[in-house]
Chains A and B, each alone.
Chain A
Amino acid sequence: MTSSMPVLIEIDFDWCKACGICVNICPRKVLAEASDGSPEIIDARRCTRCLLCELICPDFAIRVGREK
């Protein structure tokens, strides 16, 4: 399922510790690891809003836009 509109995913890099959990847990491979280990959004259209990254992030650093 690919939605036509990309989902808004916000990453707070002041809070992110580049642990790599969100990148690896995403079932749709929306994120990739940048050279410093922090997450990088590669295709927000693949996001299904399962919210796993947001709910598991130990540092409250990733936020997925909810449906309006």
Chain B
Amino acid sequence: MAKPAELASTKELIEKYIRRNGVPSIWCPGCGIGTVVGSMLRAIDHLRLRQEDVVIVTGIGCSGLIYNYLRFDGFHGTHGRALAIATGIKAANPRLHVVVPMGDGDCAAIGGNHFIHAARRNIDLTAIVINNQIYGMTGGQSSPTTVQQSRTSTAPRGHLERPFDVCELAKGAGATYIARGVTSNPIQLADLLERAMAHKGFSVVEVLSQCPVQAGRRAGRSEPWEMLQWLKGVTVSAKRGTDDVSLGKFITGELLKEDAPEWTEEYDKLIAIAGGRS
């Protein structure tokens, strides 16, 4: 893992990657999305990816706005369809690094089908699932990752349903790199994102993040700092062993890494067999 001082400074990130005329962002004070963006940019920088080789594709929701603040080519797509658009971009030009930040609703509800099929294909994309366990932009409704009993605008007496475990879902669907980070640890997060982007195949990094306004307020944690304390408390690093799973904690770190045939490479082989691209 890179030491903090080896990661790009904020000054460097601003000079290289941020559209300054868009900042400050639309996100609420203390929203975790900005921290994820910072770690993502530091991962891209540490990997020394060329700016013109990186494409950022987003969907709809608070996370959908990520693309708007960055100096990369990209696409701000439709709700849940970021991975479908990213698949098209990657298939057309496999040389590109296609990074797809999504929210939990965007990825696991509206785009659930695209998510499992991108994983099944093992196409070389990096999905970043920013999981704040709520639909923030539309008013704090329960999402597929809302934990049971938490209060939301659609579940004022506590959420009834069981949540998806995004990492387990990705595993079941066939993703070949899976990790979980948390916004309270941006150094680990940058490292996981770097590993995910370097991986050949479909990579997923779930990031537990805070929405102080829509989720925190109803949980009695409206201060961003209280949300971060809470996230620290409900997570445990995989390096410390996984005994805490039974206590209902989220394991952070690298959860799965395996080699499997990657879709665009297999497609190229098929095209060669069929006589080349016309």
The contact string, 1 if C-beta is below 8 Å from chain A, for chain B 52-82, is: 0000000000000000000000000000000
Give the segment of B7-15, B192-200, B254-262 that binds chain A. Answer: B7-15
Q: How far is the CA of A23 from the CA of B226 in the complex (A)?
A: 12
**A contact patch SS:** loop
Q: Nearest chain A CB to B230's CB is how many angstroms away?
A: 13
Contact present for A60 and B4 (CB under 8 Å): no
Q: How far is the CA of A7 from the CA of B66 in the complex (A)?
A: 31
- Contact A19 to B30, CB < 8 A, known contacts A50-B4, A56-B35, A62-B10: yes
Residues on A with beta carbons closer than 8 Å to the beta carbon of B11? 63
Contact present for B30 and A20 (CB under 8 Å): yes
Contact present for B34 and A55 (CB under 8 Å): no
Contact present for A19 and B224 (CB under 8 Å): yes
Q: How far is the CA of A18 from the CA of B224 in the complex (A)?
A: 10
Which of A23, A54, A66 has the most B CB atoms < 10 Å from its CB? Answer: A54
Interface members, chain B 1-52 (any A CB < 8 Å): 4-5, 7, 9-11, 13-14, 18, 23-25, 27-35, 37-39, 42
Contact present for A49 and B13 (CB under 8 Å): no
Does A43 sit at the interface, judged by CB under 8 A?
Answer: no
Contact present for A60 and B14 (CB under 8 Å): yes
Residues on B with beta carbons closer than 8 Å to the beta carbon of A25? 225, 228
Residues on A with beta carbons closer than 8 Å to the beta carbon of B33? 58
The contact string, 1 if C-beta is below 8 Å from chain B, for chain A 34-46, is: 0000000000000
Chain B residue nearest to A51 in the complex (CB): B4
Q: How large is the interface on B (under 10, 10 to 19, 20 to 34, 35 or more residues)?
A: 35 or more
Residues on A with beta carbons closer than 8 Å to the beta carbon of B224? 19-21
Residues on B with beta carbons closer than 8 Å to the beta carbon of A15? 23-24
Contact present for B29 and A19 (CB under 8 Å): yes
Residues on B with beta carbons closer than 8 Å to the beta carbon of A20? 30, 223-225
Q: Nearest chain B CB to A67's CB is how many angstroms away?
A: 7
Chain B residue nearest to A55 in the complex (CB): B186
The contact string, 1 if C-beta is below 8 Å from chain B, for chain A 15-37, is: 10111110111000000000000
Interface members, chain B 145-191 (any A CB < 8 Å): 183-184, 186-187, 190
Contact present for B30 and A60 (CB under 8 Å): no
Q: How far is the CA of A51 from the CA of B8 in the complex (A)?
A: 11
Given A60-B13, A66-B5, 16 more A-B residue pairs with CB atoms under 8 Å apart are A15-B24, A17-B29, A17-B30, A25-B225, A51-B7, A54-B10, A55-B39, A57-B34, A57-B35, A58-B27, A58-B30, A58-B31, A58-B37, A60-B18, A60-B23, A67-B5
Chain B residues packing against A (C-beta within 8 Å)? 4-5, 7, 9-11, 13-14, 18, 23-25, 27-35, 37-39, 42, 183-184, 186-187, 190, 212, 223-225, 228
Closest 8 CB pairs of A and B: A58-B34, A19-B30, A17-B29, A19-B29, A24-B225, A51-B4, A55-B186, A19-B224
8 contacting pairs across A/B (C-beta < 8 A): A19-B30, A21-B228, A54-B10, A57-B10, A57-B38, A58-B34, A58-B35, A66-B5
